[in-house]
Structure 1
């Protein structure tokens, strides 16, 4: 690359001061408006009608691209246009309703379980995350899916993918590019949101296994380090390619050799080291304390002056931004982890209750073992051991696959959103990070100070709340509630059958019919879990060609009107292949910059390039998902 053009390109993306939080919120709101429009259209089309890639890209991706390019100066008008379309569809286009009556049971004997696959359901019809497993003779549910989280993570990835190339064109406003030192911008937010999102999903092993935090530290460190080695390798390869090809780089982002891949690789390792602390302090408090520690280091121990003024004379000072910001990014990931323990389980209090029960059980284990040797001769000790066994069983009775209580989840998220925005306001009011709107204070992604941490967390919690409320509690609410309606209807049929002494030629006795429709039985609970999964992952059912779950001796049929894509297939594919999509976007960004002078390109040509680029980044995971049926990642591992 020509040295003069390289210097001009580096100046093109340097020295930015950003915009305002309100402006960034309006641009980000375009993604929520777009997916709401898509969801309303999807629920008004027959489920047998498959939505193609181009339509999905036009509704879900194009508005986001316009929001950060041609329409970036008027994001409010773009949102109003999308909201107008939403209002018209809601008013004039009725959704596809369902209501097929549930058939009564026949005289065939009841099956022992509903957990197995049935030919009527089709191979792979039961969605992952909702089936029951047999482990050590005990039934354990998998984690119920949360479509709003999938949509949120996919949108975060899309915003990142679109911005990393769009920033090289003049059509992308400079106010959205990364700020030099202080200020807020869309790309600054994207970096922190990426880390926050990683923190959310890192809560999965903690939520699934109550003993994970107390597991030996060294094996966990070895395991997580092995998983992070490929990401570290990507960071090293990126450094070699950038230096070897003289690709334009913004040194003040992370340093001379440091890059975002290295930060992403180190954060899980640091998080595991803190596991013993999580046993004594709530994760959210630990994350906030780390944020305070980062700010104290910046203001009281000269880290701020070191980042802004120190000459790059050695390896440490050459990468001062990446090293100093690492603790701040760790805080963001820990706060994301705390949110993950709230939204991933069926109820917000699930993780706390399960962890408390496990710790109580663990603290009594040794005393119980000592009593076992004398329990046969001492009736009191025998009774105590029976109580201890009951506590052990109580820990196992936490059903992680239970139906979600999204109203409680939304309430909890709302409380945390208010909390973090309040803390951000107090930070500004008390000037803990310097004088805002000046050259020496305010939000700083470069140093990841406390105001940047609070802004990223407040934004992500707020928008995650919006996805839950708009998608799962509004647009798809009817689908999510049909399961409980079916249970209520069956219970009425059960009571009626008992009164009448059996219905139908095959019902020999009321007790047998009541047994077949026992809504309190584990078999019925499992069928309802499968039904709920059918609503949440309707796209998988529609692709499998069946909309029924076979019960003990009757088929609980659902009309096709309940089967809708939540989340949309395109967003689900992008989320499932997140890292490959991110790598593909980086490779394509490099190829585009090497093949054309992006900073001198007209808006029309720039939009053409960006449209094709976004189609490729979205089309590859779409095709892969269609080809594999959504069962494999690009690494070839089964989900």
Structure 2
């Protein structure tokens, strides 16, 4: 890549100010619409009865990948038209009677209830995580083409954009999933702080190595880079590797205060450091001297990303267990006996859909108040309090949306606890097959692998093509082919039960 082209590409993603949050919500709402479209077609027709049928695979790829791609490129200014065109054909089948219902009541013997049963498959969480990964993969390559609006690319300092939301959502999803291990350990009464800390160190090493590989490849290949994003040496893989480690290090404090309360305290301290001790000026305007100075964005933003991670973890305690546990809006469940004994309602004991509604409403109210009254705006570069609250509010809201689709089309999972007679079964695993597109299951099965592959393909495309001078038509063709490769690899790994990570 010539120096001049590298400079042009760096300039292409520099000095941007983003767009409105309403605009971002509009284009990403296509993800919920696509799940609604697939669910109704699956429930009312036989189109997706055979997951290996070529026509079904192609249609599903269009619904789950291409619609999202179009929403952030060609139809970004006409999302309503895209949504209408997607939903319109459903009126031919939406009132069609279905012969069998998926609302099966499963009897659970409390005497044989295991931690695996206590943390069953959650349909809408799988869909949410897979769709979030898909749109992230789409954006990391699309941003290098003119067909992708500059308002969706990462902002320089202040403002909101789709890609700024993406990195925060990635962290939120990590926190959400991390809660499952703690829930199971508490349920089985085998929680170990030391073992969890050792495991977090062990699990962080591969991601840390990926960060080193990315850093080395960028320097060796003279690849374009945006230093104000994370710093001279830091990258997102380093952030991802440190967050679980830090969370596990302070697990005893987090357990006492609850993740969401700890997250708010971190925000309070971090915001005080930024505004009262001059660190906003330091991060934005100081010279890059020393290792800390050269990577100040990546290092300081860890505090904000940790708060996002803890908000996701707190939500996991609310929505992942089989039934609501005591004060699940704030803290993790106890042992099996405690969970069964304290199933009666408490002040902070809520159902998943109620918990999502409360949190989405609370965080949106906080965002509106701070955005209206506070001295600074949203900054992904610093991961300040407004950024954390916005990212959390968005994820609570969209998970609520996926949950509404699940309840509307598939119904609430039904179960009954008994003292005898029920077989030891894994609750709601039938929903894995019946209620989630196989393509989304595939992406979720090897999420990190697909993300790494997306980064590699993005680099190859940029080293091979002059992306910023391509026409919109050619750009979309390349992007569809790129999505097809990612989708195919995910599908092949999943159908062969090859789980990398």
Give TM-score scaled by structure 2 length.
0.90
1:625: how far off?
1.4
Q: 2:421 matched to which residue of 1?
A: 523
1:81: how far off?
2.5
Gaps of 5+ in 2: 344-348
Matches within 5 A, 1:407-418: 408-418=351-361
Instruction: Confirm whether residue 633 of structure 1 aligns to residue 476 of structure 2.
Output: no
Contact 1:148-1:464 within 8 A present in 2 as well: yes
Measure the CA separation in 2 of the matches of 1:599 and 1:328: 33
**Pair 1:624–1:296, CA change in 2 (3 A):** same
Instruction: Confirm whether residue 533 of structure 1 aligns to residue 442 of structure 2.
Output: no
Measure the CA separation in 2 of the matches of 1:312 and 1:322: 13
Contact 1:132-1:139 within 8 A present in 2 as well: no
Matches within 5 A, 1:88-167: 88-91=92-95, 94-98=96-100, 141-167=117-143
Instruction: Confirm whether residue 570 of structure 1 aligns to residue 423 of structure 2.
Output: no
SS of residue in 2 equivalent to 1:72 = coil
Matches within 5 A, 1:222-371: 222-350=198-326, 352=328, 358=334
Measure the CA separation in 1 of the matches of 2:458 and 2:309: 27
1:89: how far off?
3.3
Instruction: Confirm whether residue 83 of structure 1 aligns to residue 87 of structure 2.
Output: yes
Q: 1:376 matched to which residue of 2?
A: none
Measure the CA separation in 1 of the matches of 2:331 and 2:394: 28
Instruction: Confirm whether residue 444 of structure 1 aligns to residue 448 of structure 2.
Output: no
Q: 2:392 matched to which residue of 1?
A: 457
The CA RMSD measured in Å over matched residues stands at: 3.0
Runs (4+) of structure 1 exceeding 6 A deviation are 130-135, 211-214, 353-357
Q: 1:70 matched to which residue of 2?
A: 74
Contact 1:207-1:345 within 8 A present in 2 as well: yes
1:596 to 443, 447, 465: 465
Instruction: Confirm whether residue 184 of structure 1 aligns to residue 160 of structure 2.
Output: yes
**Pair 1:410–1:393, CA change in 2 (3 A):** closer
Q: What are the superposed Cα offsets for residues 614-639 of structure 1, whole Å, 9 maximum, x if unpaired? A: 010111011121223xxx4036xxxx
Measure the CA separation in 2 of the matches of 1:585 and 1:131: 44
1:241: how far off?
0.3
Contact 2:363-2:393 within 8 A present in 1 as well: yes
Q: 1:206 matched to which residue of 2?
A: 182
Q: What are the superposed Cα offsets for residues 346-392 of structure 1, whole Å, 9 maximum, x if unpaired? A: 2343574997985xxxxxxxxxxxxxxxxxxxxxxxxxxxxxxxxx8
Measure the CA separation in 2 of the matches of 1:290 and 1:356: 19
Measure the CA separation in 2 of the matches of 1:422 and 1:354: 19
Measure the CA separation in 1 of the matches of 2:490 and 2:218: 26
**Pair 1:279–1:212, CA change in 2 (3 A):** farther
Select the structure of larger CA radius of gyration.
Answer: 1
Query: Which moved further from structure 2: 215-224 or 259-268?
Result: 215-224
2:371 to 425, 428, 439: 428
Measure the CA separation in 2 of the matches of 1:38 and 1:521: 38
Give TM-score scaled by structure 1 length.
0.72
Q: 1:56 matched to which residue of 2?
A: 60
Q: 1:195 matched to which residue of 2?
A: 171
Aligned residues: 490
